Amino acid sequence: ALSFDFYAASCPNAELMIRNTVSSASSNDPSVPGKLLRLVFHDCFVEGCDASLMLQGNNTEQSDPANRSVGGFSVIESAKRLLEIFCPGTVSCADIIALAARDAVEIAGGPRVQIPTGRRDGMVSLASNVRPNIIDTSFTMDEMVKLFANKGLSLLDLVILSGAHTIGSAHCNTFRSRFQQDSNGTLRLIDQTIDTNYADELMKQCPVTAQPSVTVNNDPETSMLFDNQYYRNLLAHRVLFPSDSVLMSNVNTKKMVEDFANDQQLFFVNWGAAFVKLTSVGAKTDEDGEIRSSCTATNV
Ligand code: HEM
Ligand SMILES: [Ca+2]
Ligand SMILES: [Ca+2]
């Protein structure tokens, strides 16, 4: 099983070294916290929290389109290199990913969460495992609930963890389905679930002619701050993905959204519990898996 401070004896400064790495990477590049937070989600939902997403090669998870824009790998590798100097062969890449995401939230102004450690690194990474396990922005509530339930996560966990969209950014093509291109090549809103002024802002930032690399903020108000603004955005219908908007179309989730929009502390307390659950999904421990010496390849 996972346990708190698993490295207390074997590498007492492990959590501190990871935190310092995340902190300096984030001050050099403010997009780092968002990247690290998305990275843990995409790692944990495919083969469990086992750093399968770090493995490079033909047809590994990284090559699936759903992972094409996932980032933060270099930050995980820097932390790993440091740990290999001080505590060789001791700290798993899976733990580094979970701890780095935990630190990213705190560095962005969110709550500090204690998470258990002792995850081991997986040996399997297949592109074909990604599609069935990662939620698409077009999923219905039922489809999202089902996938979350498969991972031992509840409806509340879905609403809470979606609050991660209070930081970070998204490429224009990820919400293009809300618009249709007319014969003159201009975009028109075809999705009645978002605010029309917000839709206008999005069309300006993401015209048809925009380069594929263009991104917009997930949270149009406080994109750098991990706060409860995501829920206020939902109430104002100012969210990017249909999978966000869906949280307003169900009475139970709508009530949760209202509660978190009104009470940041309530969001933070619930975030801690849901994040511990997310980072425990399918964790490999004891005899399972290995401790990689480099995060990008299994040991030989
Ligand atoms: C529930 C269904 C979810 C869907 C459909 C979804 C979808 C997406 C998409 C399409 C992007 C934009 C990626 C890009 O274009 O670069 C994104 C960004 C992001 N997502 Fe989610 N997401 C979901 C849940 C989550 C969860 C549970 C977390 C973490 C706990 C999360 C964290 C993030 C973060 C932090 C970003 C910003 C990434 C960055 O700045 O590079 N998402 N999400
Ligand atoms: Ca994984
Ligand atoms: Ca925010």
User: Which CATH number fits the domain that encloses residue 173?
Assistant: 1.10.420.10
Q: Can you give the pTM of this predicted structure? A: 0.98
Out of 26, 32, 38, 74, mutate this one to test ligand 1's pocket (max ligand atoms within 8 Å of CB): namely 38
162, 260: one domain: yes
183, 116: one domain: no
145 is in an annotated binding site: no
The residue count of the chain comes to: 300
- The CA 123 to ligand 3 mean position distance, Å, reads 36
Residue at token pair 């903020």: 217
Could you report the per-residue pLDDT of 181-239, keeping only the tens digit for each?
A: 988 888 999 999 999 999 999 999 999 999 999 999 999 999 999 999 999 999 999 99
**223 alpha carbon, closest ligand:** 3
- The CA 38 to ligand 1 mean position distance, Å, reads 6
222 is in an annotated binding site: yes
In this structure, is residue 107 part of a structural domain?
A: yes
Of the pLDDT bands very low, low, confident and very high (cuts 50, 70, 90), residue 65 is very high
Domain of 23? 14-134
Mean pLDDT of the chain: 97
**Closest residue to atom 22 of ligand 1, CA basis:** 162
pLDDT value for 101: 99
61 is in an annotated binding site: yes
From residue 52, give the alpha-carbon distance in Å to each of 6, 38, 80, 99, 237: 21, 14, 15, 16, 35
- The CA 297 to ligand 3 mean position distance, Å, reads 35
Q: Name the residue among 2, 283, 292, 288 with its Cα closest to residue 118.
A: 2
**60 alpha carbon, closest ligand:** 2
Of the pLDDT bands very low, low, confident and very high (cuts 50, 70, 90), residue 177 is very high
3-state secondary structure the chain: CCECCCCCCCCCCHHHHHHHHHHHHHHHCCCHHHHHHHHHHHHHCCCCCCCHHHCCCCCCHHHCHHHCCCCCHHHHHHHHHHHHHHCCCCCCHHHHHHHHHHHHHHHCCCCCCCCCECCCECCCCCHHHCCCCCCCCCCCHHHHHHHHHHCCCCHHHHHHHHHHHHCCEEEHHHHHHHEEECCCCCEEECCCCCCHHHHHHHHHHCCCCCCCCCEEECCCCCCCCCCCHHHHHHHCCCCCCHHHHHHHCCHHHHHHHHHHHHCHHHHHHHHHHHHHHHCCCCCCCCCCCECCCECCECCC
173, 107: one domain: no
83, 117: one domain: yes
Q: What is the mean pLDDT of residues 73-97?
A: 98
Domain final residue pick, 134, 156, 184: 134
pLDDT value for 247: 98
pLDDT value for 184: 86
Of the pLDDT bands very low, low, confident and very high (cuts 50, 70, 90), residue 300 is confident
Burial 169-188 (b: 16+ CB within 10 A, else e): bbbbebbeebbeeeeeeebe
pLDDT value for 183: 87
Q: What is the percentage of the chain residues whose pLDDT exceeds 70?
A: 100
Total of domains in the chain = 2
| CATH classification of the domain holding 39 | 1.10.520.10
126, 146: one domain: no
**169 alpha carbon, closest ligand:** 1
179, 105: one domain: no
Q: What is the mean pLDDT of residues 162-176?
A: 97
Q: Is the CB of 148 under 6 A from ligand 1?
A: no
114, 188: one domain: no
Active-site position among 19, 38, 42, 232: 42
51, 159: one domain: no
| Residue 66 clears pLDDT 90, i.e. is over it | yes
In this structure, is residue 212 part of a structural domain?
A: yes
Could you report the per-residue pLDDT of 1-32, keeping only the tens digit for each?
A: 999 999 999 999 999 999 999 999 999 999 99
Question: Does residue 237 have an active-site annotation?
Answer: no
145, 271: one domain: yes
Domain final residue pick, 134, 150, 168: 134
191 is in an annotated binding site: no
